[in-house]
Structure 1
């Protein structure tokens, strides 16, 4: 999981199953521009009253949560336990996932693994998505994967393939029938075990 330590700034879709990989041209049409700005949404209502008072009112809370979102790359999410709030040492965001559903799952799993036993179950506080995307999109990639697809992957000669991991946000690509792309994905970052080919040409 790509966790982003962000306490210093008061931080930090499951990809629908596809029967067959899509082509680069199809992927490019489905994705936002690689430079798309992020859209931040949040649910300040889950913050404990003590946190809201400590931060200094509604406007200050909104500013803080937007700052928290700005430090979390899309697709990203931050979850908290409503009974523990923001001011915990382990606060983190999950970012650079391939869909908002994957980011949500990662953020909730991390938070529920860190909260105290008697605390309320974690809830999503902040979500970050690229502007122009929606949960109905049938294909999505993290920002770094989108850039890699449009850049170095596009320049490779066919045959070639692009693989991603929904659970970790890893990705990899290479020439060939897909085997090397899967190996590159599995070897990236946290060592993903769920890599699959999503684009092939």
Structure 2
């Protein structure tokens, strides 16, 4: 089975960035632990119960937030089966997975989302970060002085900054990892 993990760099994700950055303390209360994710298999007419179990098993180790797109006429073992993981929202992951699936699809029917990958115990919150960004925030954000975290809602990229130009540094760090063009500061102190 081919299960490709990719991030589409030119997609946009609505609503992933906040209008105003939150503080580090506020972010700590909104974020989920960067541990094991849970998988929601959607009810779709082209996925057998056995394929659903296999899909859950395969993607359960992927970092949140993620989505899996399938070509309905080609099945789970197709090269058009795409998982996009480590995004800042399932919406962004779904857009990336669908775009990549559509590029590889050979069937007539459009690709569809078959699964979502979210943090364990997920509930919608004002701020959501990828598993890697959450881990980086916890390990490297710091507790003193000016600091900031910027994310790319479309790509899942992120960056940190510290010191007098923390926000600019965070934006530059985000943009320099994969050429993200939509970076925005979402946490700042």
Sort the TM-score into its range (normalised by shorter chain): 0.7 to 0.9
User: Where do 1:54-69 residues align within 5 Å?
Assistant: 58=49, 60-69=50-59
**Which residue does 1:55 correspond to in 2?**
none
**Which residue does 1:141 correspond to in 2?**
129
> Structure 1 residue 11: deviation in Å?
6.2
Unaligned runs of 5+ in 2: 6-12
| Secondary structure at the counterpart of residue 178 of structure 1 | helix
Mapped to 2, the partners of 1:31 and 1:111 lie a distance apart of 29
Mapped to 2, the partners of 1:97 and 1:185 lie a distance apart of 13
Does the aligned pair in 2 maintain the 1:164–1:198 contact within 8 Å? yes
Evaluate the alpha carbon distance shift between residue 104 and residue 172 of structure 1 in structure 2; reply closer, same or farther with a 3 A threshold.
Answer: same
TM-score if structure 1 supplies the norm length? 0.81
Select which of 84, 95, 103 maps to 1:94: 84
Does the aligned pair in 1 maintain the 2:34–2:119 contact within 8 Å? no
Q: Which structure: greater helix fraction?
A: 1
Mapped to 2, the partners of 1:96 and 1:148 lie a distance apart of 13
> Structure 1 residue 14: deviation in Å?
4.5
**Which residue does 2:18 correspond to in 1?**
18
| Secondary structure at the counterpart of residue 142 of structure 2 | helix
Greater gyration radius: 1
Unaligned runs of 5+ in 1: 1-5, 53-57
**Which residue does 2:9 correspond to in 1?**
none
- Kindly report the root-mean-square deviation, in angstroms, between the aligned alpha carbons of the 2 structures: 2.1
TM-score if structure 2 supplies the norm length? 0.85
> Structure 1 residue 72: deviation in Å?
2.8
Mapped to 2, the partners of 1:89 and 1:103 lie a distance apart of 18
Confirm or deny that 1:160 pairs with 2:160: no
